[in-house]
Chain A
Amino acid sequence: MDFLANLGLGFGVALTPANLGFALIGCLVGTLVGVLPGIGPVATVAMLLPLTFHLEPVSGLIMLAGIFYGAQYGGSTTAILVNMPGETSSVVTCIDGHQMARNGRAGAALTVAALGSFFAGTVATLMIALFSPPLALVGQSFGAPEYFSLMAVGLIAAVVLAHGSIVKAVAMVLLGLLLGLVGTDGQTGGQRFTFGVTILSDGIGFVPLAIGIFGLGEVIANLVAPQQRRELVSSRISNLWLTKEEFRQAWPASVRGTLIGSVLGVLPGGGATLSAFAGYVLEKKVARDPSRFGKGAIEGVAGPESANNAGAQTSFIPMLTLGIPGNAVMALMIGALTIHGIQPGPQVMTERPALFWGMIASMWIGNVMLLVINLPMIGLWVQLLKVPYRQLYLAILLFSAIGVYTVNNNTFEVILTALFGIVGYIFIRLECEPAPLLLGFILGPLMEENLRRAMRISGGDPMIFLNRPISLGLLIAAALLLLVVALPAIRGKREEVFQEK
């Protein structure tokens, strides 16, 4: 059995005391980075990169990888406790995770996030070990037309994210699209809505937008609210573990999230974030009672949390098998390999099996470590909710500001975050959901970019979207989804009206 021999080799490398230590350091740093809003794995990995020059290549990679997937675990913590997406991929966790915390189920939400992430991490690691080459091909077969069609599916699905008024959801998606327009037009270099501000020529950053609208908006709302509402969360903490009913609801969601995340993670660019959104939409669609979503449905935490961790793991596949980075962290790891004199690419698997399999084995070990780190910490995290909010919010603001600054070392983005905080508060007052806005913001520019790329490739022939089988399939899926979304939304609105009476 080649596979078992390879895994044996991998565990032999990963289980040396030194490499176990580096995996642990990576996981700890990753958890911390994940918990702190704004400070992301990209900035951290970039900062720690010089350290790895003096390590064995495999040790360095194990540590950097630990930071990356550790951040996915940590990101959910802030999302659940203070409604602040610690990482871009934990935006959707805010929706139901924070509601669970408000209902006194913060412990359960954190537990299910950790367990779901662990399960997803284990499955995704196995998938990397078994199916790397074919999965890499899936990622590669996605060209501009396929992306465009995928984004079409995504935009329609964005509406599903919202609970409540569908008109408001559509409006928020459109607003997100508009915000996404700011910046340089990629194909011509023209400036859009930049008002002569150079940093805006690269568009509005995702981090200032997400931290501002979600996190700071929530902070303002909490401070405006009377004392009792604010302290509500801390007074109602109940059992940290899952109830039998919760477990029964959560595990299938976790399995579905893992599958969808494993596939979407392979796609270049934001695999983990896209996976989390997809995981949430899927859960809401398959749920028997979708109205529970947005009010603390445990599937709304289990699904996306499993999906983003699976996506984070499988995003290693293009890097490991082809030497092509799917995101900035992977690009940094390729940089680290290059500095060690290893030419990243398919030959790494055959020429340096110890590195390749050692890294894969370490991912699973890292996931075990993260579970061990995170489960006992849950009690501690929940205690954080008992800190009086007037003290807690200062820490939230401080860490947000530092986090936003580290993304591009730019003060303008900190100011932008503050402005978006005010906008976020207005949204809360208007009862507009920010999640569809963020999805529109992410998908809009990608969709436009790929539409124009595809049209340039085809020489202006729109049939390119129908001639390519994957693209055609996705467009058909989009059309079906539109029907599915439109019908219950019309009916759902009636139900809501009845509920109010």
Chain B
Amino acid sequence: MSLARLARRHFVRAAVIAATTLAAAPAFAQSTWPDRPVRLVVPVGAGGAADTLARNLSNGFQQFANGQPLIVENRPGGGGTLAAAAVAREKPDGYTLFLAEVGANAVAHVLQAKLPYDPHTAFTPIVHAANLPSVVVMKPTLPYKNLAEFAADARKQPGKFNYASAGIGNWTHLFMAYLSNQAGIEMVNVVYRSGAEMLTSVIRGDADVAPITVSTALSHIKEGRVRSLAGFGSKPMAQLPDTEPASKALPGFDVLLWHGIVAPAGMDPALTARINGVFNQVLQSDSVRNAINVAQAAEAVGGSAAQFDALIKLELKRWPDVAKAAGMKPE
């Protein structure tokens, strides 16, 4: 046997092995994923609603995932785009997941000139994990009882009222820009560093209104330190039965502060389905459901990967227009 033939035989054998391994890989992956710890990259710092959500998911993950843990890795920065860009560069092997939200996944590409990834194509959507109900709160010294009253007065005095937000392009900014746009009012945006700072500024009376998650604001609303003017979602909220949805004053208004799991683009559909299945089990387990729905005053969602994909696609249509209408430019 000549050396060349030997080499060729080796090559052929290697190729056959490689081919069969590749073909078998998806089936292998879906039955055994995960066989090592899974990383969930969270685009915000530790503490706060999105981080708590990630930790709640991580808490219930192990029992449905071959005993493997879900490790929460906080990578704050760049309005969430730092973490998103890092995840987009990873392999879609199911071991690096990302906690997606409106900023990095639906609007960052119109706010940042040199975004290293394209939210339309960089990720494989996996599951819509939860919505964090959020409300517009107002300082209690203002006389308005609901959004319609407030909007009516604000329309007459453009620029008189200010709202607190947590940064340009942050959901707090986008939601208020959208609300102002829909209500035809003009307000001054005052930027703070966190939801906690925003809330204090409303309590103190420096800010007139602010968008805040129900879990952060609930006790302050109940104690009367701030008044909840309207809910951003169109559904009534169990924790705040007296708060009307914004759609009462602005028909059709419905925005969700959604969070979900995505993976790098190009994931094998069988693996996507397997991960989706695990997270649906996690979301349906009593302890996680309770932690999210009751303790966090949020709404666990779940559902198929296709549903989440559709939601992100809708959001990718809505927010860039809102951002442009509000005069936000790429930096």
- Alpha-carbon distance between A113 and B207 when the two chains are bound, in angstroms: 41
Q: Which of B73, B159, B219 contacts A347 (CB 8 A)?
A: B219
Name the B residues within 8 Å of A143 (CB-CB): 201, 204, 206
Q: Is A408 an interface residue (CB 8 A)?
A: yes
Q: Is A410 an interface residue (CB 8 A)?
A: yes
Q: Which of A190, A408, A453 contacts B77 (CB 8 A)?
A: A408
Q: Which of A187, A191, A332 contacts B46 (CB 8 A)?
A: A332
A453 B192 Cβ-Cβ under 8 A: yes
> Which residues from 32 to 87 on chain A have a C-beta closer than 8 Å to any C-beta of chain B?
42, 45-46, 49-50, 53
A189 B111 Cβ-Cβ under 8 A: yes
Name the B residues within 8 Å of A238 (CB-CB): none
Name the A residues within 8 Å of B167 (CB-CB): 184, 186, 189
Assuming the A-B contacts A45-B46, A408-B77, A457-B190, are A199 and B169 also in contact, with contact meaning beta carbons closer than 8 angstroms in the complex? Answer: no
- Alpha-carbon distance between A7 and B191 when the two chains are bound, in angstroms: 41
Q: What residues make up the interface of B, taking CB atoms closer than 8 Å to A?
A: 45-48, 51-52, 55-56, 58-59, 72-78, 81-82, 85, 111, 114, 116, 159-160, 162, 167-169, 188-194, 196-197, 199-201, 203-204, 206-207, 215, 218-220, 223, 290-291, 294-296, 328, 331
Q: Is A486 an interface residue (CB 8 A)?
A: no
Assuming the A-B contacts A140-B203, A202-B76, are A186 and B191 also in contact, with contact meaning beta carbons closer than 8 angstroms in the complex? Answer: yes
A328-368 interface code vs B (CB 8 A; 1 in, 0 out): 10111011001111111111000000000000000000000
B220 A50 Cβ-Cβ under 8 A: no
Considering residues B46, B76, B78, B220, which has the most beta carbons from chain A within 10 angstroms of its beta carbon? B46
Q: Which of B48, B190, B219, B290 contacts A453 (CB 8 A)?
A: B190
Q: Which of B55, B72, B207 contacts A339 (CB 8 A)?
A: B55
Q: Which of B59, B200, B215, B331 contacts A268 (CB 8 A)?
A: B200
B190 A199 Cβ-Cβ under 8 A: no
A328 B75 Cβ-Cβ under 8 A: no
A310-340 interface code vs B (CB 8 A; 1 in, 0 out): 0000000000000111001011101100111
B331 A328 Cβ-Cβ under 8 A: no
From B45, which residue of chain A is reached at the shortest CB distance?
Answer: A328
Assuming the A-B contacts A188-B168, A453-B191, A457-B190, are A335 and B78 also in contact, with contact meaning beta carbons closer than 8 angstroms in the complex? Answer: no
A339 B56 Cβ-Cβ under 8 A: yes
Assuming the A-B contacts A45-B46, A50-B58, are A331 and B196 also in contact, with contact meaning beta carbons closer than 8 angstroms in the complex? Answer: yes
- Alpha-carbon distance between A286 and B120 when the two chains are bound, in angstroms: 62
- Minimum C-beta distance from A180 to chain B (A): 14
From A196, which residue of chain B is reached at the shortest CB distance?
Answer: B114
Name the B residues within 8 Å of A268 (CB-CB): 196-197, 200
Q: Is A144 an interface residue (CB 8 A)?
A: yes
A289-326 interface code vs B (CB 8 A; 1 in, 0 out): 00000000000000000000000000000000001110
Name the A residues within 8 Å of B55 (CB-CB): 49-50, 53, 335, 339
Name the A residues within 8 Å of B51 (CB-CB): 335
Q: Is A409 an interface residue (CB 8 A)?
A: yes
- Alpha-carbon distance between A141 and B201 when the two chains are bound, in angstroms: 10
B196 A324 Cβ-Cβ under 8 A: yes
Name the B residues within 8 Å of A236 (CB-CB): none
Name the A residues within 8 Å of B201 (CB-CB): 143-144
- Minimum C-beta distance from B238 to chain A (A): 14
- Minimum C-beta distance from B189 to chain A (A): 8
A140 B295 Cβ-Cβ under 8 A: no
Name the B residues within 8 Å of A222 (CB-CB): none
- Minimum C-beta distance from B199 to chain A (A): 7
- Alpha-carbon distance between A408 and B42 when the two chains are bound, in angstroms: 11
A141 B204 Cβ-Cβ under 8 A: yes
Assuming the A-B contacts A186-B191, A189-B328, A268-B197, are A331 and B47 also in contact, with contact meaning beta carbons closer than 8 angstroms in the complex? Answer: yes
B191 A339 Cβ-Cβ under 8 A: no
- Alpha-carbon distance between A144 and B189 when the two chains are bound, in angstroms: 14
B220 A331 Cβ-Cβ under 8 A: no
- Alpha-carbon distance between A199 and B77 when the two chains are bound, in angstroms: 6
- Alpha-carbon distance between A202 and B48 when the two chains are bound, in angstroms: 18
B328 A338 Cβ-Cβ under 8 A: no
Assuming the A-B contacts A201-B77, A268-B200, A409-B74, are A341 and B47 also in contact, with contact meaning beta carbons closer than 8 angstroms in the complex? Answer: no
- Minimum C-beta distance from A158 to chain B (A): 22
Q: Is A467 an interface residue (CB 8 A)?
A: no
Q: Which of A141, A187, A188, A408 contacts B75 (CB 8 A)?
A: A408
- Alpha-carbon distance between A199 and B79 when the two chains are bound, in angstroms: 10
A140 B116 Cβ-Cβ under 8 A: no
**8 cross-chain pairs, A with B, having the tightest CB-CB distances, nearest first:** A331-B47, A345-B219, A189-B168, A46-B46, A341-B295, A332-B47, A186-B191, A143-B206
- Alpha-carbon distance between A268 and B193 when the two chains are bound, in angstroms: 11
- Alpha-carbon distance between A335 and B42 when the two chains are bound, in angstroms: 15
- Minimum C-beta distance from B79 to chain A (A): 8
Name the B residues within 8 Å of A328 (CB-CB): 45-47
- Alpha-carbon distance between A243 and B223 when the two chains are bound, in angstroms: 54
A324 B200 Cβ-Cβ under 8 A: yes
Name the A residues within 8 Å of B59 (CB-CB): 50, 53, 339
Q: Given contact pairs A198-B78, A339-B291, A340-B295, enumerate 8 new A-B contacts (beta carbons under 8 Å).
A: A42-B45, A187-B190, A198-B82, A332-B46, A341-B291, A343-B295, A345-B219, A459-B188
Q: Is A285 an interface residue (CB 8 A)?
A: no
Name the B residues within 8 Å of A342 (CB-CB): 295
- Minimum C-beta distance from A188 to chain B (A): 7
- Alpha-carbon distance between A410 and B82 when the two chains are bound, in angstroms: 10
A410 B52 Cβ-Cβ under 8 A: no
- Alpha-carbon distance between A342 and B218 when the two chains are bound, in angstroms: 12
- Minimum C-beta distance from B104 to chain A (A): 12
> Which residues from 178 to 218 on chain A have a C-beta closer than 8 Å to any C-beta of chain B?
184, 186-191, 196, 198-199, 201-202
Name the B residues within 8 Å of A53 (CB-CB): 55, 59
> Which residues from 427 to 459 on chain A have a C-beta closer than 8 Å to any C-beta of chain B?
449, 453, 456-457, 459
A-B contacts, 19 listed (Cβ < 8 Å): A46-B46, A140-B200, A201-B77, A202-B76, A324-B200, A328-B47, A335-B51, A338-B296, A339-B59, A341-B294, A343-B218, A344-B219, A345-B220, A347-B219, A409-B73, A453-B190, A453-B191, A456-B162, A459-B159
Name the A residues within 8 Å of B85 (CB-CB): 198
